[in-house]
Amino acid sequence: MIKTIVKLTASIFIAQAAGAIGGLVTAPAITTWYPTQRKPPFNPPNWIFGPVWTILYTLMGVALYLVWRRGDEAPEMKPQINRAITIFGIQLGLNTLWSFLFFGLKSPRYALAEIGFLWASILAAIIMFFPISAVAAILLIPYILWVSFASVLNYYIWQLNR
């Protein structure tokens, strides 16, 4: 039981930490640079991003936990699980990188180029998670949908501010 709680807590912490790191560079730009950018009419209000990302990072953490836990239940799947967790780590790194490109460098252009890699890595994580834990894969679907929306939003912000 303790091992389960530690793994679940660590998994959620890892995902939330990625969000917090991205938030360090995002927060200053939200009140300075970002308000100066022209945005499409479907741009959500700023207050929506925090709650949405908190939920998404929590879902990512739970998904990671479900895959990680499976290694204890099915040791023969360890190589497959390790590859899936590696892909998950890559997408988490790309997620954080996007914040640095968009808000830190103030470059919707570079962020748009990078978000394609992020989207592909999320899809790869979903595909790799599915045979290990279908629930874990399903938990990543809201994330890829939000990143799909963010990609469109990123594109329009880039276009409107060139």
CB 119 within 8 A of CB 148: yes
Residue 131 has pLDDT above 90, yes or no: yes
State the average pLDDT for the chain: 96
Q: Which distant-in-sequence residues (6+ apart) come within 8 Å of 61 by Cβ?
A: 8, 11, 12, 13, 14, 15, 16
Residue 3 has pLDDT above 90, yes or no: no
User: Mean of the pLDDT values across residues 76-105?
Assistant: 97
Q: What is the pLDDT of residues 48-76, one digit of tens each?
A: 999 999 999 999 999 999 999 998 888 89
User: Mean of the pLDDT values across residues 93-117?
Assistant: 98
Residue 91 has pLDDT above 90, yes or no: yes
pLDDT at 71: 85
Confidence band of 160 (pLDDT split at 50, 70, 90): very high
Rounded percentage of the chain residues whose pLDDT exceeds 70: 100
pLDDT at 73: 85
User: Mean of the pLDDT values across residues 90-110?
Assistant: 98
Q: What is the pTM of this model?
A: 0.95
The per-residue DSSP string of the chain comes to -HHHHHHHHHHHHHHHHHHHHHHHHHHHHHHTTGGGS---TTPPPHHHHHHHHHHHHHHHHHHHHHHHHHHHH-GGGHHHHHHHHHHHHHHHHHHHHHHIIIIIS--HHHHHHHHHHHHHHHHHHHHHHTTT-HHHHHHTHHHHHHHHHHHHHHHHHHHHT-
Rounded percentage of the chain residues whose pLDDT exceeds 90: 94
Q: Which distant-in-sequence residues (6+ apart) come within 8 Å of 20 by Cβ?
A: none
